[in-house]
Structure 1
């Protein structure tokens, strides 16, 4: 799976609450990319990590199951409330919608279904809530 697959899934969605979807190399870069004032609500896709199981093949081929973790960094801004109360209500709606779009989806026929690992607050500043959702999928790596 590639992050572009997730980007396509989130941008091709009729009725999406997201006004912008993009990719970034890491969480800090995503936050810098928007210069602290993101289009709201928006999502930035970031790679988090891969974990591979040991080789399962007894031949010269290598067969490994790989779990890929990626993040969806959500940004919701409401300048009418510097404490973030209004944005907090909106972020809940956006989280529910994004989870509904990603969880249980398979990026490709050979990939595992996407699962939610969890999420948490990254930052609350100037009426913007930055929330990171972590997701996992998997695939089989075969090298002969």
Structure 2
């Protein structure tokens, strides 16, 4: 749990300045949040096993609440991941269609402020068939 909190703090400190506080909530940082919940669940199970009746009656609702929060977090992150995927697929299709003269607005939205770096590298990505030039199965 301490490792997960430390990662969250370092991410917030490192990303808030250049990208804003909202960047800390990007979906790729979820794996550290999962570590926190695993640690919390482990502590709850240990506390449940090693205590008397009064303590176990207090721990059981916390354990259930933790499971509910973890489930809600999983559902929320799944929904967020679907949105991120749909956005990435649509931008990849636009970039493939417009390459080599990709619209500056599309590049800016797709690469969120890193368009100047991404534009010259598109040729290398295309040669190696990396994203955005990899098409999903079932598409032309």
TM-score between the two structures when normalised by the length of structure 2:
0.28
Q: Which has the higher contact order (CA 8 A, sep 6+)?
A: 1
Structure with greater strand share of residues: 1
Structure with greater helix share of residues: 2
TM-score between the two structures when normalised by the length of structure 1:
0.27
